[in-house]
Amino acid sequence: MMKRLLILLLPILLLYSCRQTLPTRTARPGNHYATGFELADSCGITIATVYTPWEPDKVMARYVITQPFRRLCTASCTHIGCIAALGELDKIVGVCNPELSYTLAHSDHEVMNTGDAMSPDVERILLTHPDGVMISTYAQGDQSAKHLQQLDIPILFNNEWLESEPLARAEWIRFIGALLGCQAKADSLFASIEERYVSLRDNIRNQSHPTILSGQDFRGTWYVPAGGTYMGRLFADAGADYRYSQDLRSESIPLTTESVLREFGQADVWVGCSARTLDELVQIDAKHQWFKAYQNGRVYNFLHRTTPTGGNDFWERGVVHPEEVLEDLIHILYPDTTAYQLHYAEQLR
């Protein structure tokens, strides 16, 4: 295995639960928003440090990058979105669950299917001869990561999904840019994304504040985002009046459909359902028709850019370009005052 970096990894991955609130952190030096990584330069060599999500000052991995990575395997479609945004899609040689990638479905680039994201096929990964394997942190004692480390394959931890701020998630493109040898391009792209996002956010502050509802009933439970989550932050930046905006936990809140009706029954707008039509929404649960947003036809999903096999560009390009997601929300909330075209959302008919 060609050595392209010196890598120091902690042997144990810490336990993460989607029900757990992460510690409050501030952006790392050199970053505007991202808290999970840090880039530094020493004698022309880039040093990238990834921090443990649950212990803010504890290093998870440190990479001394002496040459750009040319061949990568990845376990996340979000990583594909970042790499494609940098024009480096040809660097990806293996992908877990490639059928779930919108980007790959709309390109001629071929990759090896390296199995399930939670249990990658190590033999297939080896067949791609990768310089590194990019994975996200999920659980303590991750056996697949340990196995890859034992095979002398550098593991590149990319934990952008644990960032709550939309711009913090997008800023991980700078981390990927450092690995691929195009840091200047990544910095420039992120600067343009940030400029557009901040402009949209600031220009909407003097507008009215329509009320908003998110999600739908699933087997008797309705999960809504807390104000400290990725979607909760987007709602705030879009100027929405959201019931849980002051609840800064970084997790979803489980509610009954009856309690959602009490708290959100009169919401002006409903976003993030999984249905494609209003009829389908009622077939899922007849109580959905009792919401004001349903009755007024102001219900939206984020399924505009999807594939038949489950790929959704909202979780690929949308993570890299939160300014486009914000444009969608602003258009949904203020349809009479904006001329934005929807990127990822579509209105149910």
Instruction: Establish if 185 belongs to a structural domain.
Output: yes
- The pLDDT assigned to 94 comes to 97
Q: Are residues 155 and 299 in the same domain?
A: no
**Of 38-47, 261-270, 277-286, 334-343, where does mean pLDDT reach its minimum?**
334-343
Please report whether residue 314 resides in a domain. yes
**Is residue 232 domain-shared with residue 192, that is, in the same domain?**
no
3-state secondary structure the chain: CCCCEEEEECCCCCCCCCCCCCCCCCCCCCCCCCCCEEEEEECCEEEEEEECCCCCCCEEEEEEECCCCCCEEECCHHHHHHHHHCCCHHHEEEECCHHHCHHHHCCCCCCEECEECCEECHHHHHHCCCCEEEECCCCCCCHHHHHHHHCCCCEEECCHHHCCCHHHHHHHHHHHHHHHCCHHHHHHHHHHHHHHHHHHHHHCCCCCCCEEEECCEECCEEEEECCCCHHHHHHHHCCCECCCCCCCCCCEEEECHHHHHHHHCCCCEEEEECCCCHHHHHHHCHHHHHCHHHHCCCEEECCCCECCCCCEHHHCHHHHCHHHHHHHHHHHHCCCCCCCCCCCCEECC
pLDDT at 55: 81
Task: With respect to residue 69, please indicate whether it lies within any of the assigned structural domains.
Answer: yes
Range of the domain at 249: 212-347
pLDDT tens per residue across span 225-268: 999 999 999 999 999 999 999 999 888 999 999 999 999 999 99
Q: What is the CATH number of the domain that holds 316?
A: 3.40.50
**Domain closes at, from 164, 196, 228:** 196
170 plus 258 within the same structural domain: no
Residue 173 and residue 118 share a domain: yes
Residue 204 lies in a domain: no
User: Does a structural domain hold residue 201?
Assistant: no
**How many domains does the chain fold into?**
2
Q: What pTM does this model have?
A: 0.90
* Average pLDDT of the residues in 200-207: 86
Asked if the model's pLDDT at residue 89 lies above 80, the reply is yes
**Do 37 and 145 fall into the same domain?**
yes
Q: Tell me: do 174 and 245 sit in the same domain.
A: no
Same-domain check for residues 192 and 308: no
